[in-house]
Amino acid sequence: MTLTPQEVRKQVMDYLEATECSIIEVSPLHVTVKLSPRADRMLTDRPYYWGFVERTGTPPETLSFTFVFDPEKYDHLAAAAQAAPPSRQPRGAGDRTVAAGLPAGAGAAGADTGGTTTGGPLAGAAPLGISADPQDSILARFFGFVPPLPRIGPGMIRREDVTYGSKRLGQIWSAAREEGKCLQLFEDPGSRQRMTLFSAAYEPWLAVCYKVEMSCDLKREELHFIGVSLTSGLIVPDFEAKLGSRELTPRLPENIHIEPSGLSLTAGADKLEGYLTSKLALLDYTWAEEARERLRLELSIVDIYYEELLKEQDEEKRLAILEQYNRRRKETAWQYEPQIAVSAVTYGLFHLRST
């Protein structure tokens, strides 16, 4: 499995928009963003700084980044832009101009191909919301004069290559999983519903995205997004298709009412688990039988190898060999024994318009 730069860009942009980050500059190849306090807490690993902010009540200064989704193409265009003769910009042209997928100030984000490099602010100016005066920092406001230091904090825009497999992308996924594990969303009825006389009926659904891991010496994972109506008890196995064409919002819309639930959350969860269990029982488990056969073969090889060694006359050496033998059998059983593990990735209540 892999993701294209376009798919990585979409996932990162979705996260930045969901956490209300300030977009400074954007193109198909990159985005320069000033993190919101919420995103900064999750992505920058600055617990001492945020502890200081909470104790003093001072406004936080969040970091800014340039996330590059296609480093090779981005660096190629940056090099071409630096080699080209300077052209006169029309009066009033801003720093947010993006041409051929590269910002006009591409050099500000750095043209290195490394995972994390440093660069100055765009167009030589401080990022939005950051004072250019070094004495206007948090430390200066609380402790007086502070000697000028290299700009390694909020006044700097760092470049990071965000590609499939990169540490930063994994961190964004982890933050999204942590904050998006439990949801409560409502279908957006549109502007016409606000003007109608009668309120619209909304049906509550409990939906869970299960991850099924089938493992032995090989591994396979499946996602099952299943929903159950708390009103009628109807189970929809492909709940993502039901949500695909609907606009969802975390806020309760105007002029709607929620139908009373016939099932509790516990009863709904039990129905989903029972449905998934019955579905898994119908799968072909030839792979498990083959894994057990490989396990028997590997254990027989271990037994043959240690058979002569366990005849050691020295009691101390024999006990050490026996311990090693038992450990090796446990490791082999752990590696080859077929297992199925089911976990809930995300779950939530979805209030959808009754049909």
pLDDT tens series, the chain, 355 aa? 678 989 999 999 999 998 899 999 899 999 999 999 999 999 988 989 999 999 998 898 899 999 999 989 888 888 888 887 765 655 554 444 444 455 544 444 443 434 444 343 333 334 444 444 544 555 555 555 545 444 445 567 889 999 998 999 999 999 988 888 888 999 988 888 777 878 888 999 999 999 999 999 999 999 999 999 999 999 999 999 988 888 888 888 888 888 898 899 999 999 999 999 999 999 999 999 999 999 999 999 999 999 988 888 888 998 999 999 999 999 999 999 999 999 998 899 999 988 7
- Closest residue by Cα to residue 253 from 194, 198, 205, 196: 194
Check: pTM over 0.75? Answer yes or no: no
Q: How does 38-68 read in b/e, with b if 16+ C-beta sit within 10 Å?
A: ebbbbbeebeebeeebeeeeeebbbbbbbbb
Q: Determine the Cα–Cα distance for residues 151 and 159; give it in Å rounded to an integer.
A: 14
| Three-point CA angle 191, 196, 197, nearest 5° | 155
User: Coil, helix or strand for 277?
Assistant: helix
